[in-house]
Amino acid sequence: MTLTKECRGCGRELPATREYFSRNHPERGGMSLASRCKACNAERSRQWYATAEGARRRARRNPGAVTIQAAFAQWSTGKHQHWIA
Ligand SMILES: [Zn+2]
């Protein structure tokens, strides 16, 4: 018998494995599974980061992160130097 877990996001009953649920706080060594399935988590963060507030908070939490615009600016400045035809 497989253990199942009900997703708090979509309400589906899914196998309680890491295939369907990501671990809570893996960076802290947490072993419990997240309350939402991977699909719900992905959808939730996609919506959240699409908002201006989400982008601001992410930047604050991760100040070293390179934004897409900054990465592109760097790439377009650098490409003349590193361009290989
Ligand atoms: Zn779900």
- Write out the chain's pLDDT in tens, 85 residues: 779 999 999 999 999 999 999 988 767 766 689 999 999 999 998 998 899 888 888 888 877 766 666 666 766 666 555 555 5
| pLDDT at site 24 | 81
DSSP 67: P
Tell me the whole-structure pTM to 2 decimals: 0.54
- 12 CA distance to ligand 1 middle (Å): 6
| pLDDT at site 64 | 72
Of 37, 33, 42, 45, give the one whose Cα is nearest residue 7: 37
- 38 CA distance to ligand 1 middle (Å): 7
DSSP 23: B
Contacts of 34 (CB under 8 A, 6+ apart): 21, 22, 23, 24, 41
- 77 CA distance to ligand 1 middle (Å): 42
